[in-house]
Amino acid sequence: RVVAAVRRRSAMASASATGSAAAAAAPLAKRVRVNHLSVYAGDPEKVARDLAFLIGGHAEPNGPLRGKDGVSWVCFFNKEDTRPDGPVNLLDPTKTDFLEVYPRSYRLIIQEDGRAGFEKYNAALDRGAGVHVNLGVETSRSDLEALCKERGLRCAWRGYLPLLDVWLEEDPALLVELVPPLDSEALGG
Sign of CA dihedral 119, 47, 157, 56: positive
Alpha-carbon gap, residue 148 to 70, rounded angstroms: 26
Which pLDDT value is given to residue 24? 53
Q: Which residues of the chain have pLDDT under 70?
A: 1-29, 32, 68-70, 81, 93, 95-96, 128, 184-189
CA dist 116 and 178 (Å) reads 30
Q: What is the pLDDT of residue 27?
A: 64
Q: Sign (positive/negative) of CA torsion 136, 138, 143, 149?
A: negative
Name 114's Cβ contacts closer than 8 Å, sequence gap at least 6: none
Closest to 103 (Cα-Cα) out of 55, 174, 178: 174
Cα dihedral sign for 11, 16, 17, 20? Answer: positive
